[in-house]
Structure 1
Amino acid sequence: MTAFKDLNLSSALQKSLEELGYTTPTPIQISAIPLLLQGQDVAGQAETGSGKTAAFGLPILQGVDTSLQQVQALVIVPTRELAVQVRQELKKYGKYMENLKISAFYGGHSFSQERASLAHPPQVLVGTPGRLTDHLNRKTVDMGMVKQLVLDEADKLLEMGFEEEIDQVLAAMPRKRQTILFSATMPDDVKELISNSLKNPQFVKASANAIPDQVKLVGIKVEHHDRKEVIVNLLKSVDPAGTVVFTNTRIAADELAALLQEQGIAVKALHGGMEQVDRDKTMTLFRNKTTQVLVATDVAARGLDIAALQNIIHYELPIDAAAYLHRSGRTGRAGKSGTVYTLATPRDEKQLREWEQVRMDEWLSASTLKEKAPKAAVPAASSFATLHISGGRKDKISPRDIVGALIAEAGLKVDQIGKIEVQDRMSFVAVPHAQSKSIAEKLSEGKIKGRKYKVNLVR
């Protein structure tokens, strides 16, 4: 069996992989990494959870010259959420590379901050097409030294209508470069993009099945007017922590989230109608388990790697099998188990049977689910609350500093402290819900790394 140590990666990358607990590469990594290290163009068909970020990210980082402050590698992604996620993943892999700078540029983020950061350009830039062309039009970014280009989730890029922006970015780059493309599906427009943008590409494929074998798929037979009662019963009968419920519209997401809140469930909506800062906050609350359930539109279906995710619920069936597979593939990642529940009306049931690539392991009736759900109980609210700290990476704050302050100022023990996220100008930490108000006050009155910061509860 191939191990990461057999892939000829640098010692700095090997060290971070060992620290992350990565030992055995996934099939797409075994196929793609050697080809990319040889400098070849690669077109990969890789589904959600296949490990494609490491498949292109590790060779990119290996090729970066950290002594040069120039954009040397560019990763184009379709959404803001994916830009942030890819940057975070690459930073983990490149943790032990000295002087490495990785930036993410995307809409909803301060353009002036991005422009100011280009005074010392990143070696690796991750961005959405619209924001990248905005920088090119204003001549704030130089793509002239880019050696490696990644088009990630190419089918989504084209589906969202970014052809012109991609053409403009490609025109600003050197012709002599390595181009890497990954896509979950290979429709004709993606094949045309490969033909126009890659030179003698090597094709690699992860798997024909987008839903991992360790994921259990359960269909629940419902009538349309019973769906709200059924989903409440479902969430009462399982551990709701780490659940994403998918709807097809923003209105449905907001209405369902409000209904579940009334049932005592720690739930938030997530959709494209929200401001970026609110979407980011919602994702932080979900990752650190303050929020147990997300009710989301397909904005969350592609590219979001959420380690805490246990259950997927299709409250409404998406438009096609590909969307169903992408939603369902959010769970069961990196070998973990998970469950996908689908609320299916008679019409939906017929549609599911027509989607040949979709399997169903078990069918339940709504009445069976009602019997399984505790009669009066509601899911326990989250045991964590989240604190917002007005300082972050730019203030030289590390997770260790936050842990030290919580112990010294608030009297917490290490095992009482939940997930910590340190961003550029702010940080978030999960603390025991029952003591959260007192902890926030004590931390505000005290100091973190010798300085005072504003500390507030995130609601």
Structure 2
Amino acid sequence: MATTFQDLKLSSTILQNLQDLNYTSPTPIQLSAIPLLLNGQDVAAQAETGSGKTAAFGLPIIQQVNPEQQQIQALILVPTRELALQVRQELKQYAKNIPNLKISAFYGGHSFSQERASLAHPPQIAVATPGRLTDHLFRKTLDLGTVKQLVLDEADKLLEMGFEEEIDQIMEAIPAKRQAILFSATMPQDVQDLIKESLKNPQFVKASANAIPEQLKLIGVKVEQSQKQDVVVSLLKTIDAGGTVVFCNTRAAADELAHALKAEGIAARPLHGGMEQPDRDKMMTLFRNGTTQVLVATDLAARGLDIALLETIVHYELPDDVAAYQHRSGRTGRAGKKGTVYTLATQRDERKLRDWDQVRMDNWLKADDLLKKATTAEPTMQTSAFATITINAGRKDKISPRDIVGAIIAETGLTSAEIGKIEVQDRASFIAVPEKQAQTIAEKLNNGKIKGRKFRVHLVK
């Protein structure tokens, strides 16, 4: 029985990359799925986010594509843009130092013509949302006739979001002789039907039933409905709440709570499906660089939310089912790291949690104790010490973090230690800088030059 990545017969380059990423031993889903996939079998896997599923299907795909053939050989369908970007990023890490291997993501919410241009040199591995992919098929801008492997990732969510028709069109566009791989957190009837239609003699594998990692600390807070807002404010003021996601069930609740937290001096922002894609991207950037310390999110927006600094989850409202609860909670405590999950529970919620008998609670707190503690304790969290400035230039303009640091030091006299996280995207860059000087830094850069050129720079509001 295989127990290490070496036992799984992966290439030396992939093994080296896994070592560099500090992947010490395979997760149960990787141990089960990788040998079957390397053997060419169709696989249907029930596995939560956080179980290591991207590596479970990604490593065999990377090992089997031919980098010398410039055509799409593996297609990974995902439900959201956030997940497309996350999966592409993970696969790129696993595939580092493999010459000529191109991994691209195709998704709505940004320029179609940019994607079409990149298809002049097709990737060997394409990660795509169904809507954008069928758009490409309709316009005949890509060819799926060379696909040998198809992955349906988060299949339950693909169907929940109404992508059946697009999946059918994509199935018709790829060869009948192919390896099909399906991953789903839950296995409702429509997912089982999709498995029957799309997979041939599939091998079924399953990660452990309890999707909440053992190292996570689960704390329940007994509340009355009317106390919830005050309790979450108190909680965030008494814990070190940098890197926290608070979950609400609706967009309106997320907006309202984010507004209330901000009024209390907490650096919070909303994240939900009602926001335009560039705004959602901006929120994620601000969260990653620490300018925003608390994201108030809905479930849909949080799919694909895989952020290393995520330490605390707060269930402000309970979701409808246990799978969604586990999915939310599993956003922290990734890859063996510690994390804390707080659940605000009214008496009705407590009954719901008892019905979900696989949810353990390590500790229960009373709302009144928490509110009392918040009035007497020194607050551990203030508004963020950082603000974010943005430059309208990025990778495509040949701008690197080093260029940006050099320009900031030259124009403002800041030291490199005072500059926070820098994120260089295709056509924009975001830099966390000391909040008190942010406006001045933006103005000086706007009037100065970066790499000998002038760019527009402004403070992100």
Normalising by the smaller structure, the TM-score range is over 0.9
Work out the CA distance in 1 between the residues paired with 2:165 and 2:244: 37
CA 37–49 in structure 1, closer or farther in 2 if over 3 Å, else same = same
1:126-205 map, 5 Å: 126-205=127-206
Work out whether 1:307 is the aligned partner of 2:318. Answer: no
For 1:417, the equivalent position in structure 2 comes to 419
Query: What secondary structure, in the 3-state scheme, does the structure 1 residue paired with 2:120 have?
Result: coil
- The one-letter code of the counterpart of 2:126 is L
For 1:351, the equivalent position in structure 2 comes to 352
- The one-letter code of the counterpart of 2:176 is R
For 1:332, the equivalent position in structure 2 comes to 333
For 1:432, the equivalent position in structure 2 comes to 434
Shift of 1:149: 0.8
Q: Per-residue CA shift, 1:297-352, capped at 9, x if unaligned? A: 11234332111111111111111111111111111111111111111111111111
- Conserved 8 A contact 1:237-1:374: no
Q: Per-residue CA shift, 1:113-149, capped at 9, x if unaligned? A: 2222222222211111111111112212110111111
- Conserved 8 A contact 2:32-2:205: yes
Q: Per-residue CA shift, 1:141-183, capped at 9, x if unaligned? A: 1101111111000111112221111111011001111111111
Shift of 1:408: 4.7
- Conserved 8 A contact 2:238-2:378: no
Percent identity over the alignment?
72
**Unpaired stretches in structure 1, ≥5 consecutive residues:** none
Shift of 1:249: 0.9
**Structure 1 residues 36-45 or 341-350, which shifts more?**
36-45
- The one-letter code of the counterpart of 2:384 is S
Shift of 1:88: 1.6
Shift of 1:447: 4.2
CA 22–376 in structure 1, closer or farther in 2 if over 3 Å, else same = closer
Aligned equivalent of 1:454, options 453, 456, 460: 456
Q: Per-residue CA shift, 1:408-456, capped at 9, x if unaligned? A: 5544444333323222222222233233333334444444444443332
1:44-443 map, 5 Å: 44-375=45-376, 379-443=381-445
Shift of 1:260: 0.5
- Conserved 8 A contact 1:15-1:96: no
Work out the CA distance in 1 between the residues paired with 2:204 and 2:269: 40
**Unpaired stretches in structure 2, ≥5 consecutive residues:** none
- Conserved 8 A contact 2:27-2:51: yes
CA 6–454 in structure 1, closer or farther in 2 if over 3 Å, else same = farther
Q: Per-residue CA shift, 1:213-236, capped at 9, x if unaligned? A: 111111111111111111111111
Calculate the aligned-residue CA RMSD, in Å. 2.0
Shift of 1:396: 2.8
Query: What secondary structure, in the 3-state scheme, does the structure 2 residue paired with 1:373 have?
Result: helix
Work out the CA distance in 1 between the residues paired with 2:268 and 2:442: 22
Work out the CA distance in 1 between the residues paired with 2:406 and 2:18: 26
CA 171–306 in structure 1, closer or farther in 2 if over 3 Å, else same = same
Shift of 1:11: 3.6
- Conserved 8 A contact 2:82-2:303: no
Work out the CA distance in 2 between the residues paired with 1:88 and 1:111: 20
Work out the CA distance in 1 between the residues paired with 2:66 and 2:458: 41
**Structure 1 residues 12-21 or 49-58, which shifts more?**
12-21
For 1:37, the equivalent position in structure 2 comes to 38
Work out the CA distance in 2 between the residues paired with 1:37 and 1:421: 36
- Conserved 8 A contact 2:238-2:377: no
CA 21–444 in structure 1, closer or farther in 2 if over 3 Å, else same = farther
Work out the CA distance in 2 between the residues paired with 1:127 and 1:387: 30
Q: Per-residue CA shift, 1:39-67, capped at 9, x if unaligned? A: 22222111121111111112212222222
- The one-letter code of the counterpart of 2:45 is G
- The one-letter code of the counterpart of 2:318 is L
Q: Per-residue CA shift, 1:364-423, capped at 9, x if unaligned? A: 111111122144865311122222222222223333443444445544444333323222
Work out the CA distance in 2 between the residues paired with 1:116 and 1:240: 43
Work out the CA distance in 2 between the residues paired with 1:8 and 1:447: 51
- Conserved 8 A contact 2:248-2:297: yes
- The one-letter code of the counterpart of 1:223 is E
Query: What secondary structure, in the 3-state scheme, does the structure 1 residue paired with 2:100 have?
Result: coil
Query: What secondary structure, in the 3-state scheme, does the structure 1 residue paired with 2:305 have?
Result: coil
Work out the CA distance in 2 between the residues paired with 1:411 and 1:43: 57
Work out the CA distance in 1 between the residues paired with 2:395 and 2:16: 22
CA 126–432 in structure 1, closer or farther in 2 if over 3 Å, else same = same
- Conserved 8 A contact 1:73-1:149: yes
Q: How many residues align?
A: 459
Shift of 1:105: 1.5
Work out the CA distance in 1 between the residues paired with 2:64 and 2:325: 36
Shift of 1:187: 1.8
Query: What secondary structure, in the 3-state scheme, does the structure 1 residue paired with 2:48 have?
Result: coil
CA 65–412 in structure 1, closer or farther in 2 if over 3 Å, else same = farther
Shift of 1:2: 3.5
Work out the CA distance in 2 between the residues paired with 1:380 and 1:332: 24
Work out the CA distance in 1 between the residues paired with 2:349 and 2:68: 57
- The one-letter code of the counterpart of 1:291 is T
Work out the CA distance in 1 between the residues paired with 2:451 and 2:94: 26
Q: Per-residue CA shift, 1:196-216, capped at 9, x if unaligned? A: 211222222221111111111
